[in-house]
Copies of this chain bind each other. A is one copy, B any other.
Amino acid sequence: MPRPPSAMRRQILDSALRLFAEHGFKGTSLHDIAVEARCSKASLLYHFAGKDAILTELLTPPAEALSAMGEELAALTGGQAVEAAVTGYVGLAMRFHLEVKIIFAELPDMLGHPVLAVIPRAVDQLAAALAGRRDEPRARVAAQMVIGGVAVTVAADVDAEPATMRDELVRGALRTLGHPTGLS
């Protein structure tokens, strides 16, 4: 039965991603994942060092992408930074919407996780860019509202075309930030 070298590995990751997003990391047991992936619990631990290793492998890509975006944003200023931050963040959030759900669901513990150690710095850079490098409460609160609003909206099951969703998220975020735009 164990034919393709590592099809099971991918299947475990897919199942874990779905279950973590739906029930949270702590709310999902290795048994749950094994049932979903149609293998034994011991098989999970043959492919992965432990439950935590599965999470790490799932969250590494979005963490690296967010970190890279943070560094790029740090080089921009003013209006350029705001627009790049909004479009970049919305794109990332949509691409990794299940991972976003996992991270936001257990934020405090996740931030203590090694693989997500880069997040505070990246989020600071993102927030600073969204705030247009301004430090007034208005800009800081608005930036935080965008970060949360986009994440929650993407994680929720709003029925809308991805393209429409993306467009409206960007417009909505720019409105929140009070950023002037050619459109309404």
User: Which label, helix, strand, loop or mixed, suits the secondary structure of the A interface?
Assistant: helix
What mask results when residues 145 to 174 of chain A are scored 1 for a CB within 8 Å of chain B, else 0?
111111111001010110011001101110
Q: Which residues of B contact A172 (CB under 8 A)?
A: 138, 141-142, 145, 176
Q: Are B178 and A184 in contact (CB under 8 A)?
A: yes
- Give A96 Cβ to nearest chain B Cβ, in Å: 16
Residue A175 CB within 8 A of the other chain:
yes
Chain B residue at smallest Cβ distance from A178: B175
Residue A52 CB within 8 A of the other chain:
no
Counted per complex, copies of this chain come to: 2
In chain A, positions 123-151 with a C-beta closer than 8 Å to chain B are 137-138, 140-142, 144-151
Q: Which residues of B contact A22 (CB under 8 A)?
A: 108
Q: Which residues of B contact A42 (CB under 8 A)?
A: none
Q: Are A152 and B148 in contact (CB under 8 A)?
A: yes
Q: Which residues of B contact A152 (CB under 8 A)?
A: 104, 144-145, 147-149, 151-152
Contact surface of A with B, Cβ cutoff 8 Å: 22-24, 26-27, 104-109, 137-138, 140-142, 144-153, 156, 158, 160-161, 164-165, 168-169, 171-173, 175-178, 184
Closest 3 CB pairs of A and B: A148-B152, A149-B149, A145-B149
